[in-house]
């Protein structure tokens, strides 16, 4: 081995000063790189251990290879010599590159977490007024030194600034002097300077209590000679001494005594002076008030029972204690318990420590303090003259209301609250005060539960920007969607425009984001023709719809200046964000009050936008409609959205009803009248008038289920989305398929569905080429199948014909419940799509392809769910239209969920992620693991399960019989098959003991659930690769099962950065070497290659597919027709791999064991190695 280059000193000695323990990973790694850079061996940290050379390699290449291996050995020994004994034992058998990779994976996250907590503590340091300064400065210097040890030192100036910024206001003269005189002192001298300043502050400080001294009165008693009486206007006396005034008072008293039949009316008003202030004090030990007014549940205190010492040292006595309710500007009532009444004080005090003991929290920003309880804002206390003053904004301090509230169903104010789309009470009060609502007396109403369901929010973001001075000077816009439920008409997005000056808003429903440009041109033409003005500025976020070339060119042609918000700051587009929130809040409130389907949210949204334009807001004095048009709006025709209404039929005969019972769903824009929904006919129409059942609608209980119980006499089935929200109520006729006889009324029943691995392959391709991904749903799919057999059924109950009671029905088409229903539907769908020009993939019968020139569309069918993937929007629209003409379809817009799996997409990065976090949450809750500890591995390294751990006694078996072992295995298996290949081996190992599980087996299953709880937010991601190539990895663990000595084999195939196919299973035969085990595990590639080749979009499909294996013997078995003693018993079918390799379909390559991605599918691994392979499969957090 070559010696290192000579130098004047031994540079390796810097590694011996402080050995690696884990927390000093950053310093140790930096010193190691310095040493290796000086010795020209830094490559060992970045390049893996060199692979073995072939036997016929040249001598020079062998010498270079031997030198390189010696370098790795030298550096690994150096690294081990500078570690703690615990780390040495863990890494002594590994090479240098593997050691440094494992150390970084193990300790860098810990160092980063410690750096984050240290910097957080440093920036949060604040010195309270009156506390000593020396410990505070020493603590902050300690934080700075800790950051320096972690490799992130702060400069002297920045550290000094942080310390000065943490000081209280009493140090402001010192800070001013420090900055003006440029005192560039070191941190070691700063504590002494601050200590001197602190002593000076104490000498010159005043008392906390302010003493008001009255100036001596040197004036003479009595009025001046020129003083004028306010009563008689004569000089020389005051009104209180005026004779005329005194005589008049005397006469009034006599008149009052002579009246014996009059009524004395005494008016008592509880009022509070504006001079009364409520101080929020962080130093007070109790709540204190100066008056008994408003004190509830109070009791008197004996003199001396409770004394409180104030700031000047004096003792003051409390006369009573009780509860003080304060009505706050937030419309919440704060009850202050154990409130002491001390008349001797001049201010009311709210104790911060008492509130904190009751669970309240405080947040201090910019010298102001806000109080919260369970993240709900209560009040704000700005600092005034050194005190936190609670600002009640003119509200009455005491919440006294002698008027009894009426129930909401009888309260006209609440009825108008519902008519106006559940706007808040302040807006309604302003409308009533302005005279727009004058038909009733305004009064408060009970809490609206619909508003609680639809409007619950977090604390608001505070910020204000400059307002426009005229109409269309600035227009705010934003696109919201996709929504979880598609609106009637196939709409999944909405586009909002809000004028900044008037706050008048427009809303446009869209099926796809690509319609944004056309909707903007529609809005632009409408407002320009209506107002005769042009838009000057258009403010939006940085969505792709605003950054397109055609959108930008159109704005330039029209002279409109775009204003794009900075990345990551949606607050700058706050008007649009707030408008979207307000719209959706009102829509949720309106929808929660009705039993209409979620697909009516589009009508509710347009109604909400119309209502908001007709009512005032905090931003403008008048209504937006009045500012926009110059006319006052009329609100007399408004009705409660979703209420039942009787509408006159246009045509009716003499015996049928003259009206239909419908639902009110909106106001048409083009004509006067209302939108009504006829549930019987399933259509929306316009009518001028109807009889609205508003009061009956409000007073009704359990609206959502009444209609269905009446019509079907039983609770209907519910179709829910992935989050459990009710999508639609279903009721259908189902045949008794269990009475069918094979060969008589059915033959074949098999119906194919798309395999998940082929769906993931197409999604990976779509992410690479940025294809459109749309989703459709076939309504009542099985009713579309044609029957080849004669099938008969009895007449359904409730629909039987009394005149033909003995007759039966013959089915012409399939219905739900028939054994051949699924197959009939699949055959019918195959015929229809082939007639549309689609070609079926031979390897996957549920994947179709259609090509027209450069336009391409893939169609994937999974029972009744359809994915349309392609590069041409017009062709996709044509396919959707053709399918709608053949079947009853529901357009779901851009794909958001498939089989309960969430699809996340970032088209700017060409990234698609698949997540089952909602499903995993349900599984964890089902097995009571939602609050368990979070696991780091699905199966710990070194765990061996076996039959010897099964129950041995009857008591043990009875104990395990109540544990849902098999159910947990099945629940985890669905996640593993869909998006989580990282738990494949652990699930394979635990599923072998379902028939007789033991406690150790159940602990292993719970460890999988703990691991899923920690990683539930991870995605199986596709994207970020430069080439679209399928790479396969195969591996096997020799005789890992101790019960039958069979090996565990596994493989994984990756495309565009993510796994598309994987498997981990125990082999069917007992083998004698790992050569045989890994040789048998390498056969999945052929099927995938055929499928990808028929898609016709991957240029790499024509070349050989790389299949990586870390066993040289398996590679030799696949490439060469050799035979030896241990391979004689291998089945002949497995030797077909030689023919596949010979054809060039698959190319088997050697890979280092540490880089074999299939390794975690065959054995438990240490955490760093497991996480590295998991990330190579594409399982990662989406922000990574």
Q: Is the pLDDT of residue 223 over 70?
A: no
Percent of the chain with pLDDT over 90: 17
Exposed / middle / buried, residue 1005 (Cβ in 10 Å: 0-12, 13-18, 19+): buried
Section 319-332 average pLDDT: 80
Percent of the chain with pLDDT over 70: 82
- 1033: β partners: 1052, 1108
DSSP annotation of 407 reads P
- Judge contact between 588 and 598, C-beta under 8 A: no
Label residue 1124 by pLDDT band (50, 70, 90). very low
Label residue 961 by pLDDT band (50, 70, 90). confident
How many CA atoms does the CB half-sphere of 322 hold within 13 Å?
19
CA distances from 1079 to 1030, 1066, 1123 (A): 20, 14, 13
Quote the distance between the C-alpha of residue 427 and its chain's center.
30
**pTM for the complete prediction?**
0.45
Q: Is the pLDDT of residue 664 over 90?
A: yes
Taking CB atoms within 8 Å and a gap of at least 24, the contacts of 150-153 are: 150/26, 150/111, 150/114, 150/115, 150/118, 151/26, 151/27, 151/30, 151/111, 152/115, 152/119
Rounded-to-integer distance, Cα 697 and Cα 981, Å: 52
Rounded-to-integer distance, Cα 891 and Cα 909, Å: 26
Region 1025-1184: CATH code: 3.30.420.10
- Judge contact between 1104 and 1144, C-beta under 8 A: yes
111-143: pLDDT as tens digits: 666 777 788 888 888 888 878 888 888 888 878
Provide the residue count of the chain.
1184
Q: Which two tokens stand for residue 825?
A: 């539907």
Q: Which two tokens stand for residue 181?
A: 């005189």
Rounded-to-integer distance, Cα 611 and Cα 639, Å: 11
> Where on the phi/psi map is residue 504: left (φ > 0), alpha (ψ -120 to 50), or beta?
beta
Q: Which two tokens stand for residue 755?
A: 């395999």
Only one residue has tokens 């106006």, namely 420
Rounded-to-integer distance, Cα 1034 and Cα 1040, Å: 16
Section 156-162 average pLDDT: 82
- 283 three-class SS: coil
Exposed / middle / buried, residue 1051 (Cβ in 10 Å: 0-12, 13-18, 19+): buried
Question: Who's near 366: CB < 8 A, 6+ residues apart?
Answer: none
- Judge contact between 850 and 836, C-beta under 8 A: yes
Q: Is the pLDDT of residue 720 over 80?
A: no
* pLDDT-wise least confident of 146-155, 577-586, 999-1008, 1175-1184: 146-155
What value does the mean pLDDT of the chain take?
79
Label residue 88 by pLDDT band (50, 70, 90). confident
- 646: β partners: 661, 691
Q: Which two tokens stand for residue 872?
A: 């041409």
- 1179 three-class SS: strand
Rounded-to-integer distance, Cα 785 and Cα 539, Å: 52
* pLDDT-wise least confident of 63-72, 975-984, 1108-1117: 1108-1117
User: How is the chain split into domains, by residue range?
Assistant: 13-114, 125-199, 278-389, 644-720, 737-899, 916-1023, 1025-1184
CA distances from 405 to 413, 437, 446, 783, 1128 (A): 11, 20, 7, 54, 92
Exposed / middle / buried, residue 164 (Cβ in 10 Å: 0-12, 13-18, 19+): middle
- Judge contact between 718 and 709, C-beta under 8 A: no
Q: How big, in percent rounded to 5, are the helix, strand and coil portions of the chain?
A: 40, 20, 40
Rounded-to-integer distance, Cα 663 and Cα 675, Å: 8
- 1163 three-class SS: coil
Q: Is the pLDDT of residue 545 over 60?
A: yes
1029-1066: pLDDT as tens digits: 888 898 888 767 777 777 788 889 999 999 999 888 88
Q: Which two tokens stand for residue 281?
A: 């004090």
- 414 three-class SS: helix
CA distances from 490 to 248, 315, 454, 497, 929 (A): 84, 75, 23, 21, 39
Q: Which two tokens stand for residue 725?
A: 């929200």
Q: Is the pLDDT of residue 109 over 90?
A: no
Element spanning 659, H or E: strand 659-666
pLDDT for residue 725 = 56
Q: At what angle do helices 516-531 and 549-558 cross, to 10 degrees?
A: 10
From the list 1091, 337, 1011, the residue with the least C-alpha distance to 757 is 1091
Dihedral pair phi/psi, residue 1113, rounded to 5°:
-65, -40
- Judge contact between 191 and 134, C-beta under 8 A: yes
CA distances from 62 to 68, 237, 590, 807 (A): 10, 125, 79, 92
- Judge contact between 308 and 286, C-beta under 8 A: yes
Q: Is the pLDDT of residue 70 over 70?
A: yes
Label residue 701 by pLDDT band (50, 70, 90). very low
- Judge contact between 916 and 902, C-beta under 8 A: yes
Q: Is the pLDDT of residue 824 over 70?
A: yes
Q: Is the pLDDT of residue 371 over 70?
A: yes
DSSP annotation of 933 reads P
Strands (E), 688-813: 691-692, 717-720, 726-730, 772-778, 786-793, 809-813
Which CATH number does the domain 278-389 belong to among 3.40.50, 2.60.40, 2.40.70, 1.10.1740? 2.40.70
Return the number of other C-beta atoms located less than 10 Å from residue 1172's C-beta.
Answer: 18
> Where on the phi/psi map is residue 809: left (φ > 0), alpha (ψ -120 to 50), or beta?
beta
Section 904-912 average pLDDT: 88
How many CA atoms does the CB half-sphere of 393 hold within 13 Å?
9
874-884: pLDDT as tens digits: 899 999 999 98
Strand 1105-1109 to 1030-1037 pairing: parallel
DSSP conformation letters of 34-61: HHHHHTT-GGGGTSPPPPPPPTT--HHH
Label residue 262 by pLDDT band (50, 70, 90). very low
Label residue 1073 by pLDDT band (50, 70, 90). very low
Question: Who's near 241: CB < 8 A, 6+ residues apart?
Answer: 223
Element spanning 288, H or E: strand 287-289
Section 42-52 average pLDDT: 81
pLDDT for residue 598 = 86
């Amino acid at each position: 081995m070559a010696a290192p280059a000579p130098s004047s000193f031994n540079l390796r000695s810097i590694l011996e000063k402080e050995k690696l323990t884990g927390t000093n990973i950053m310093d140790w790694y930096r010193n190691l790189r310095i040493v290796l850079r000086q010795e020209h061996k830094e490559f060992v940290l970045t390049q893996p251990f060199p692979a073995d050379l072939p036997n016929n390699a040249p001598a020079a290449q062998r010498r270079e290879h031997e030198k390189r291996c010696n370098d790795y050995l030298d550096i690994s020994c150096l690294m081990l010599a500078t570690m703690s004994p615990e780390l040495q034992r863990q890494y002594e058998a590994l090479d240098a590159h593997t050691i440094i990779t494992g150390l970084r994976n193990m300790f860098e996250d810990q160092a980063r977490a410690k750096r984050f907590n240290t910097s957080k503590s440093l920036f949060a340091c604040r010195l309270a007024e009156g506390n000593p300064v020396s410990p505070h400065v020493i603590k902050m210097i300690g934080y700075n030194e800790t950051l320096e040890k972690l490799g992130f030192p702060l400069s002297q100036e920045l550290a000094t600034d942080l310390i000065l910024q943490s000081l209280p206001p009493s140090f402001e003269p010192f800070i001013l002097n420090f900055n003006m005189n440029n005192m560039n002192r070191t941190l070691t001298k700063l504590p002494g300077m601050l200590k001197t300043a602190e002593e000076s502050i104490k000498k010159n400080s005043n008392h906390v209590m302010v003493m008001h001294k009255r100036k001596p009165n040197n004036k003479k008693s009595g009025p001046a000679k020129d003083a004028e009486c306010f009563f008689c206007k004569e000089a020389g006396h005051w009104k209180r001494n005026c004779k005329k005034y005194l005589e008049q008072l005397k006469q009034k008293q006599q008149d009052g005594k002579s009246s014996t039949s009059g009524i004395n009316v005494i008016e008592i008003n509880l009022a509070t002076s504006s001079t009364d202030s409520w101080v929020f004090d962080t130093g007070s030990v109790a709540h204190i008030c100066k008056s008994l007014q408003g004190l509830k549940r109070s009791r008197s205190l004996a003199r001396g029972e409770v004394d409180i010492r104030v700031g000047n040292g004096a003792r003051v006595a409390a006369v009573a204690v009780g509860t003080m309710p304060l009505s706050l500007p937030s419309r919440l009532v704060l009850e202050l318990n154990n409130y002491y009444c001390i008349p001797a004080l001049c201010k009311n005090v709210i104790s911060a420590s008492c509130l904190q003991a009751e669970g309240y929290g405080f947040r201090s920003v910019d010298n102001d303090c806000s109080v919260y309880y369970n993240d709900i804002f209560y009040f704000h206390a700005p600092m005034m003259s050194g005190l936190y003053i609670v600002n009640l904004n003119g509200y009455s301090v005491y919440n006294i209301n002698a008027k009894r509230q009426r129930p909401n169903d009888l309260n006209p104010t609440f009825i108008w609250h519902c008519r106006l789309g559940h706007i808040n009470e302040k807006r309604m009060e302003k409308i009533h005060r302005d005279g727009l609502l004058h038909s009733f007396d305004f009064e408060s109403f009970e809490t609206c539960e619909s508003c609680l369901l639809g409007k619950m929010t977090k604390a608001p973001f505070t910020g204000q920007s400059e307002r426009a001075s005229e109409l269309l000077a600035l227009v705010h816009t934003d696109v919201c969607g996709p929504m979880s439920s598609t609106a009637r008409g196939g709409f999944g997005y909405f586009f909002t425009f809000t004028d900044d000056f008037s706050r008048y808003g427009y809303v446009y429903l869209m099926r796809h984001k690509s319609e944004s440009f056309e909707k903007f041109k529609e809005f632009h033409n409408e407002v320009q023709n209506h107002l005769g003005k042009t838009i000057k500025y258009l403010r939006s976020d940085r969505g792709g719809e605003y950054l397109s070339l055609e959108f930008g060119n159109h704005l330039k042609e029209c002279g409109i200046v775009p204003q794009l918000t900075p990345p990551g700051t949606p607050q700058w587009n706050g008007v649009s964000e707030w408008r979207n929130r307000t719209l959706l809040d009102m829509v949720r409130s309106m929808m929660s009050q009705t039993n209409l389907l979620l697909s009516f949210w589009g009508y509710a949204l347009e109604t909400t936008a119309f209502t908001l334009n007709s009512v005032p807001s905090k931003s403008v004095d008048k209504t937006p409609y009045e500012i926009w048009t110059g006319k006052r709006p009329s609100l007399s025709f408004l009705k409660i959205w979703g209420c039942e209404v009787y509408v006159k039929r246009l045509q009716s005969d003499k015996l049928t009803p003259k009206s239909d019972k419908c639902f009110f769903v909106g106001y048409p824009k083009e004509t006067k009248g209302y939108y009504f929904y006829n549930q019987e006919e399933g259509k929306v129409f316009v009518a001028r008038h109807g009889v609205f059942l508003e009061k009956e609608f409000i007073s009704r209980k359990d609206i959502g289920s009444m209609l269905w119980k009446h019509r079907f006499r039983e609770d209907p089935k519910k179709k829910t989305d992935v989050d459990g929200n009710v999508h639609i109520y279903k009721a259908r006729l189902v045949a008794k398929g269990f009475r069918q006889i094979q060969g008589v009324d059915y033959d074949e029943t098999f119906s194919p569905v798309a395999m998940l691995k082929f769906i993931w392959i197409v999604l990976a391709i779509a992410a690479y080429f940025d294809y459109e991904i749309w989703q459709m749903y076939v309504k009542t799919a099985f009713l579309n199948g044609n029957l080849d057999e004669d099938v008969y059924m009895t007449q359904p109950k409730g629909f039987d014909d009394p005149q033909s009671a003995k007759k039966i029905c013959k089915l012409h088409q399939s219905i739900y419940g028939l054994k051949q229903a699924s197959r009939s539907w699949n055959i019918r769908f195959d015929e229809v799509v082939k007639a549309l020009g689609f070609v079926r993939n031979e390897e996957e019968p549920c994947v179709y392809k259609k090509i027209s020139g450069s336009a391409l569309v893939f169609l994937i069918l999974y029972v009744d769910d359809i994915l349309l993937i392609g590069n041409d929007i017009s062709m996709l629209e044509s396919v959707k239209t053709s399918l709608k003409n053949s079947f009853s379809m529901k357009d779901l817009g851009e794909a958001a969920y498939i089989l309960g799996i969430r699809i996340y997409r970032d088209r700017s990065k060409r990234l698609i992620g698949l997540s089952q976090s909602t499903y995993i949450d349900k599984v964890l809750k089902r097995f009571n693991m939602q609050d368990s500890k979070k696991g780091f591995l699905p199966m710990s390294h070194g765990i061996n399960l076996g039959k010897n751990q099964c129950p041995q006694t009857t008591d043990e078996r009875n104990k395990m019989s109540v544990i849902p072992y098999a159910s947990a295995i099945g629940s985890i298996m669905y996640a593993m098959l869909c998006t989580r290949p990282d738990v494949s081996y652990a699930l394979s190992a635990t599923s072998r003991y379902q028939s007789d599980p033991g406690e150790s087996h159940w602990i292993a299953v719970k460890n999988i659930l703990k691991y899923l709880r920690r990683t539930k937010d991870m995605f199986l991601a596709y994207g970020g690769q430069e080439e679209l190539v399928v790479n396969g990895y195969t591996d096997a663990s020799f005789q890992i099962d101790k019960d039958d000595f069979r090996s565990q084999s596994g493989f994984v195939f990756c495309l565009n950065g993510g796994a598309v196919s994987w498997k981990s299973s125990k082999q069917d035969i007992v083998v004698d070497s790992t050569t045989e085990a890994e040789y048998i595990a390498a056969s999945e590639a052929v099927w995938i290659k055929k499928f990808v080749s028929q898609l016709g979009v991957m240029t790499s499909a024509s070349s050989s597919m790389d299949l990586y294996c870390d066993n040289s013997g398996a590679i030799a078995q696949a490439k060469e027709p050799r035979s030896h003693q241990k391979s004689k018993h291998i089945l002949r079918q497995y030797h077909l791999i030689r023919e596949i390799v010979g054809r060039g379909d698959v190319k088997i390559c050697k890979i280092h064991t540490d880089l074999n991605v299939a390794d975690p599918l065959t054995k438990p691994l240490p955490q760093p190695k497991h996480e590295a392979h998991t990330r190579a499969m594409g399982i990662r957090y989406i922000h990574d």
